[in-house]
Amino acid sequence: MHFKKLGLLLCASILFSASASANTQSCERLILPIKFDSYGLPTVDLMLNGSSHPALLDLGSLDAIHLPIADIKKTPNVTYTGNTVKSSNVAGDIFESNEFVVSSLKLGCMVFDDITGLELEPWGASIGQDKINDDTQQSVIGLGFFTGKKISINYQNKMLIVEISMTKKTPSDHKYSELAYKTSKEGISIKVSSDNADYQMILDTGASSSIFSASKVSPKDSLMTCNYDLGPNMKCQLFNSPLKIAGVDFTSNILLYPIDQRFKLDGLLGTDFFKRFVVNIDFLNKTLSILPVDLK
């Protein structure tokens, strides 16, 4: 069991180009412009079977691709594995999806081989009275899509860079702070610290805001009340203690929410985090670094 999506206002999808020909030359570096949808989530314009579509990037999913059945039928080189995968969202709802493999896909000029995907079961969750329109969910690309690659996510410059990673680790820009990160069933997480506690938080480009799991917050940390309607018998509170990431201040009104108890980590870092930092992840060499946007 693992969580596919944990966020405030969620709607995660991605569309990609048709499968690559065996004779197609693949590039080693791909730059994709980022736009932001009405939820503040990152979107890119990609090609699917000759047509351009807006697409959303969701690092909150470990799986490579989630596609609607209609798009799977249009995509060449698809083979179903016969497996089904269970998942759950922030509310604890359970979903089952059929698994498939696409032998070759092309994203811009870059070719991706043997991509494992799932039929899309819209798992978008909302908190309070703001509801997700599941009709806008088309497809999802997650962490698994970038196996063996390097990515740079830059909200300030509205840019996603994907590169072929080298076996030998390349020197990092001295301006960037390198962090240890962990990979779990919830995704990639980094340490976020207050004066009272360390928290392990998932990086989630598919979440419109950061969230703390209410039961995981230290009683020593300061909270403040808020007016957002979370639902019946639910108290609205925001984390009010100073936070640091790699020694850099991170200030945001992070909501506390009773995330389903099967989620083991302390919360999510969403859009507010990615607006504050440029994030580089090298999946081959297992390194992660961040740069505050005001230091660029």
- CATH number, residue 36: 2.40.70.10
| Contacts for 243 with CB less than 8 Å, ≥ 6 apart | 192, 193, 194, 249, 250, 251, 252
pLDDT of residue 161: 95
Amino acid, single-letter form, for residue 41: L
Amino acid, single-letter form, for residue 149: K
| Contacts for 101 with CB less than 8 Å, ≥ 6 apart | 78, 79, 81, 114, 115, 116, 117
Query: Count of CB atoms within 10 A of residue 227's CB?
Result: 5
Residue 170, in any domain of the structure? no
pLDDT of residue 11: 32
Give the dihedral sign, CA 171/177/182/187: negative
pLDDT of residue 155: 96
Please check whether residue 283 is in contact with residue 165, taking contact to mean a CB–CB distance below 8 angstroms.
Answer: yes
Say whether both 272 and 229 belong to one domain.
yes
Range of the domain at 291: 177-295
Say whether both 160 and 193 belong to one domain.
no
The tally of domains found in the chain comes to 2
Alpha-carbon distance values, 165 to 26, 147, 159 (Å): 14, 9, 18
Long-range contacts, stretch 236-245, CB < 8 angstroms, 24+ apart: 239/212, 241/194, 241/195, 241/196, 242/194, 242/195, 243/192, 243/193, 243/194, 244/192, 244/193, 244/194, 245/179, 245/190, 245/191, 245/192, 245/193, 245/277, 245/290
Please check whether residue 117 is in contact with residue 33, taking contact to mean a CB–CB distance below 8 angstroms.
Answer: no
Say whether both 63 and 198 belong to one domain.
no
Residue 251 buriedness (CB in 10 A; 0-12 / 13-18 / 19+)? exposed
Say whether both 59 and 145 belong to one domain.
yes
Distance CA 261, CA 96 (A): 19
Say whether both 47 and 87 belong to one domain.
yes
Say whether both 114 and 186 belong to one domain.
no
Tens place of pLDDT for every residue, the chain, 296 residues? 233 344 333 333 333 333 334 444 678 899 989 989 888 888 877 565 666 666 779 998 888 888 888 888 888 889 999 999 877 665 666 778 999 998 887 777 888 889 899 998 765 555 655 555 555 556 788 899 899 999 999 999 999 999 998 876 666 667 899 999 999 888 999 999 999 999 999 999 989 899 999 999 999 999 999 988 887 888 899 999 999 999 999 989 899 998 888 888 999 999 999 999 999 999 999 999 999 998 65
pLDDT of residue 234: 84
Say whether both 11 and 145 belong to one domain.
yes
Nearest to 291 by CA among 273, 279, 281: 279
Give the predicted TM-score (pTM) of the model.
0.83
| Contacts for 153 with CB less than 8 Å, ≥ 6 apart | 42, 57, 59, 160, 205, 274, 278, 279, 280
Residue 286, in any domain of the structure? yes
Nearest to 154 by CA among 33, 10, 7, 16: 33
DSSP 97: E
Say whether both 137 and 259 belong to one domain.
no
Say whether both 249 and 143 belong to one domain.
no
Please check whether residue 58 is in contact with residue 14, taking contact to mean a CB–CB distance below 8 angstroms.
Answer: yes
pLDDT of residue 72: 84
pLDDT of residue 111: 83
